[in-house]
Amino acid sequence: MSCCIALSFAAGNVAAKDRTGAIVIRAGKTDNPTHALARQFAGAVAVNGAYTLDVQESQGSVQNVIDALTAPRDFIFAASSDLIAAARRGRKPFSPDRRYREIRALVPMPALTVQWVVRQDGDVKMLSDLAGRSFIAGPRGSVSERLTTAALQVMGIDRQVQMIDIVDPAAAAAALKAKQVSGFALAGAYPVPTLEALARAVPIRLLGLRQPALGQVLAADSSIAAEILPKGTYPGVDADVTTLAIPDGLYTTTRMPAATAYRITKAFWTQRAALIARHPPWQAVSFATLATLGVRLHAGALRYYREVGAKVPRALR
């Protein structure tokens, strides 16, 4: 399934060869948060004109990276920098292929941030308090389950927490409201609308991860990053909370013309404020998050960042 959005750029002339065909964006299944973010990205830079952005369903980030090997020049995909690093090293599930070296970065996306939620009127005030209690970490194989398990393991309480399996993530909020569980985890770009609604109905508390456990989780898995959920993200949450996240970004290959990469990058940052007004999770994306992209920027994107004086990490140049 795909969604086509027309895209044009006011600055400069677009070469005729760059005006043909659609720019494909691959970003997970249609019910995946990353797919929704990709459609928001496309919508933010879309006005009638030179390009068409075709936001397509994919089998996930691993397949996106594999498809980049043979993709046409006008191809953008969502992935984490850690996956791209694994592909370049030929680590499973990837096979060794030098063409992975052709992958280049464009812009960061809001990270998939895990949010550990409990009731404010309960006595669970930190993750270690979950020992001996029931908790919904999320569907099996989800980002929230993976990061929750990692955190509980480094604290040595993973076997003391009664994990409740669910298929429908929406059931977690209902279970917390009914006091059937001590809490639940979800992962997504914040603020999550369903969590905002829950916080208005039931006072909630967000749990954080402290040192040394935080450092141990990050040292054990390079794909995980620390993320600060700012106070005020949700009603009643009046303090910053340090949690875990999987950074995401939009990438292409060296086959994309520099002019195309430049104009897409410029269009996104020019429209960032309007995008945030419609979709607040994008406020987490700034020039400061460029480092999470992990690989070199496309030459066209780098040109834009240099023009506006953005601080580009050496590894991305």
Domains detected in the chain:
2-109+249-316 (3.40.190.10), 112-246 (3.40.190.10)
Question: Residue 3's pLDDT is what?
Answer: 57
| Matching residue, tokens 């990276």 | 65
Spatial distance between the Cα atoms of 105 and 81, rounded to a whole number of angstroms: 9
Rounded Cα–Cα distance for residues 140 and 134 (Å): 16
The overall longest dimension of the chain from CA atoms, in Å, is: 65
How confident is the model at residue 78, as a pLDDT?
A: 93
Instruction: Label residue 126 exposed, middle or buried (CB < 10 Å: 0-12, 13-18, 19+).
Output: middle
Please list the residues that pair with 55 across neighbouring strands: 3, 25
What token pair was written down for 242? Answer: 């340090």
**Angstrom distance (rounded) from CA 128 to CA 135:** 12
C-alpha 98: how far from its chain's center?
26
pTM of the predicted model as reported, rounded to 2 decimal places: 0.78
- Check residue 286 and give left, alpha or beta (phi > 0: left; psi -120 to 50: alpha): beta
298: exposed, middle or buried (Cβ count in 10 Å: 0-12, 13-18, 19+):
buried
d(CA 56, CA 261): 19
- Burial of residue 265 (number of CB atoms within 10 Å: 0-12, 13-18, 19+): buried
164-185 in b/e burial notation, b at 16+ Cβ within 10 A? bebeebeebbebbeeeebbbbb
The rounded distance, in Å, linking the Cα atoms of 11 and 278 is: 24
Q: H-helix or E-strand containing 208?
A: none
Three-class SS of 5-69 = EEECCCCCCCCHHHCCCEEEEECCCCCCHHHHHHHHHHHHHCCCCCEEEEEECCCCHHHHHHHCC
* Residue 291 near residue 312 (C-beta atoms within 8 A): no
**Average pLDDT per block of 10 residues along the chain, 317 residues long:** 45 34 82 85 71 82 91 91 90 92 96 94 93 91 88 95 84 92 91 90 95 93 88 93 93 96 93 91 92 94 97 94
Three-state DSSP at 286 gives coil
Q: Which two tokens stand for residue 162?
A: 């009664």
The DSSP 8-state label assigned to residue 317 in this structure reads -
CB 72, CB 22: distance < 8 Å:
no
